[in-house]
Structure 1
């Protein structure tokens, strides 16, 4: 049974986002929607929800279809309510439904009466999901549902999606590749033209997409070669016809030229994403055998804060990319802050950066970036004007955005700017807290490749399993009140009920 279908759907918002989209979602389908930042994923969900109008094409919905659209943003009016009140308001007088939804999403009782404004982005996201669940829709439209969730909460979300009724449909967007693999049965790669849909989870669909694109590239080359051959034949006949005065050869020349033009106009080049900007890192040479040595206690902030864990003797040498693992609240951020403070000249007992360390730090909220500064002003601290403009453009920040205040830029643009600034500082030790938070899949893969290519030392915190698996060479797990080194992140993922 078809829940929703599109025919030749197109949308242009300044630039063409997609065109000719034919999509048929059946009951029970779990469709992952994949595209780079700003390429129309959220807009497509809004179209399917009837919130905006398409530029062309049609949308057909099953009779009586009910759906819930969970956007990325929390309505400001909702923040003044408690978490439970916000969910109960969806169906007034039937509070029991809200209770069932909150139980299914494993929301602790002590959080339900707290104002949403006082809760983290992850719990606000959970409240939006609970509001959708109360409606018991036939179709969920979920825009970045894993945003702000730690690994444990992503595990709960995966379990919740798996427990939905079999006939319920889901269309979701996400940059979390492991999450897409775990929950999706189909993957749609949204493109300006010729979007591709595979009945496969993300990783298998990505491999199928590469094969299909390679086939398109070969076909395009063959078509152009055939058109070129026809044009050469036409040129020879034209010369013969002119010399002989043969009208028949002139007509034949025209026919060959028209066939070549037809083939050229029909030939479709293989798809290439309009890159949102290259991510390049540049590491200074590290001379110290240990760039960072640890043997300290990590406590809750405050002079007499309770102990979170002891590191024991630990060290990070050149080329080590250490991933810090732990449940939410275990103390990962406190350790990152302790290392950052020591590197910035605040002595801390048991935290010893080497004298040769050149630090590159990026916090998960990109707090190092002054929201009132412009990208151009920040980069010209390191480069001359023209070179700065070129580097910003290569990082996906075009001329129209280079002079604007950072507060106006998207999260993806600010993340790429932060990584560009890191490269210009030429660190030999990266301290990165959730570096993929604002990056699309293309950006994540580019960052992974750069960290691997540069061979830089790093201490990383991330909730992105694909990123952790790709870049980590060593793994530290905050377990109980001890920091243990483990051979693989998989035992930690398993402890968080993750696949």
Structure 2
């Protein structure tokens, strides 16, 4: 049963975000909405929810349709509410007075610990804030649920809980969600919409299969376009020959035939449509400056502790050699980031038990992109740190997706995706031979994640990284260190750890 129908929908906000979009949403649909950063995913959800007017086309909703729209961020006006009160406030006043038990049921379904339920939202992590928004939408019992980047800021355990919760939803409640987590999309969706400025495409399969179908469809479009142009060219050649014969012979019939062939060629050329060319949100390029050292980093029975000195784990004897792409596995709070930071300070020359080769040149990016300063401009971040000249700096920034209008504004005004690409550009310009990456895919769209994967592998980069993105872990890692029972152990692959995290109750 169709509950929502989109016909010829288009939206222009300065740039054209999408045009001529057709989509039907029926009970049981789990639709993954995929596009690069800034291409209109959030805007489309707002149009569906009735919170924004489209430029063209129409959206027809079933009578009385209740839509729950889970946004990416908590509004500033709600930050002083407790998590519980925020969910309760989503109910109509009379229902909130007599049916507050609904909040308890939803929070229990979403596995929200009681001690967090009565803390102000501003004191909670981004992941728990996202969970509060989801609970507030679900407590209203919507007929259609919209989720905008629901896995952002979630660790593997919470992603597993979210996947399980979505799987337990009543099958007649459709869901439309945006996400850059490819494994999550594959697990929870059964349809995929690739949102484009022109010729958006819908496939009746999850992301990975849909991506293959999209590539095939684009390749078929490319072949069709080439064939159409070739056919038009042949018609014009025939017309030219007949024209010469007609002129020499004085045949009116051949002149008429020439005109017909020319008109057919022009018609084919006018209707031929080139294959879609995705406009990149910005390139990600890395480098590997190389080193003769065999072991770049040596860990010899290093104790990793909390700030107050409590032992988290001991590393044993470990080495990071050239070409190692080591993924550090461990549940939240076990000390992954502490090890990353300790290695970073050791490479920077601070006294440490961690041994580093003298030729190590480090590229370090943490999950908060703290190497960027919001008060600086992108131009200051690049031209101020590296001897590249203003003109080349502007070219590099444009290539990384920071357009000329944004290059002299504050970094704090950039989107998360632009900041992530800027951070990767700065890493490259530092010419490292060793990368320390803590959640590098945060804020990167799927295109950006795949670029980063390709660059790390193509340059034989040496890196130690932390990530909650299962696809990224599987595609990049060639060694895996796991924190278990207060020891750092090497495992053959990450699958046992990933499965255990996703299935934890």
Q: TM-score range by the shorter chain?
A: over 0.9
Residues 1:344 and 2:348 aligned together? yes
Residues 1:259 and 2:264 aligned together? yes
The whole-number CA distance in structure 1 between the counterparts of 2:503 and 2:220 is 36
Residues 1:288 and 2:310 aligned together? no
Shift of 1:384: 2.1
Residues 1:208 and 2:213 aligned together? yes
Shift of 1:235: 2.0
Answer whether contact 1:3 1:169 (CA < 8 A) is retained: no
The whole-number CA distance in structure 1 between the counterparts of 2:54 and 2:119 is 40
Residues 1:492 and 2:497 aligned together? yes
CA RMSD of aligned residues (A): 1.3
Shift of 1:329: 1.1
Residues 1:431 and 2:436 aligned together? yes
Q: Which residue of 1 aligns with 2:13?
A: 13
**Aligned match of 2:311 in 272, 284, 307?**
307
Pairing of 1:218-367 with structure 2 (within 5 A) = 218-294=223-299, 295-302=301-308, 305-349=309-353, 351-367=354-370
Answer whether contact 1:151 1:498 (CA < 8 A) is retained: no
The whole-number CA distance in structure 1 between the counterparts of 2:131 and 2:169 is 16
Pairing of 1:468-479 with structure 2 (within 5 A) = 468-479=473-484
What is the SS of the residue equivalent to 1:431? Answer: strand
Q: Which residue of 2 aligns with 1:101?
A: 106
Shift of 1:339: 1.1
Q: Which residue of 2 aligns with 1:89?
A: 89
What residue ranges of structure 1 are gaps of 5+ in the alignment? none
The whole-number CA distance in structure 2 between the counterparts of 1:482 and 1:95 is 45
The whole-number CA distance in structure 1 between the counterparts of 2:261 and 2:355 is 76
Shift of 1:264: 1.2
Shift of 1:252: 2.6
Query: How has the CA–CA distance of structure 1 residues 170 and 191 changed in structure 2, closer, same or farther, with 3 Å as cutoff?
Result: same
The whole-number CA distance in structure 2 between the counterparts of 1:239 and 1:338 is 81
The whole-number CA distance in structure 1 between the counterparts of 2:61 and 2:112 is 33
What is the SS of the residue equivalent to 1:181? Answer: helix
Aligned residues, how many? 496
**Aligned match of 1:464 in 461, 469, 491?**
469
The whole-number CA distance in structure 2 between the counterparts of 1:407 and 1:251 is 66
Q: Which residue of 2 aligns with 1:36?
A: 36
The whole-number CA distance in structure 1 between the counterparts of 2:42 and 2:246 is 58
TM-score (norm 1): 0.97
Q: Which residue of 2 aligns with 1:123?
A: 128
Q: Which residue of 1 aligns with 2:60?
A: 60
Shift of 1:334: 1.1
Answer whether contact 1:301 1:334 (CA < 8 A) is retained: no
Residues 1:389 and 2:394 aligned together? yes
Shift of 1:245: 4.0
Answer whether contact 2:159 2:502 (CA < 8 A) is retained: no
Pairing of 1:415-430 with structure 2 (within 5 A) = 415-430=420-435
Shift of 1:379: 2.0
Shift of 1:498: 5.4
Q: Deviations over 1:210-257 (max 9, x none)?
A: 111111111111111001111112222233333444443333322222
Q: Which residue of 2 aligns with 1:172?
A: 177
The whole-number CA distance in structure 2 between the counterparts of 1:457 and 1:486 is 18
Q: Deviations over 1:370-422 (max 9, x none)?
A: 21222222222231222222222211122222222211111111111111111
Shift of 1:355: 1.0
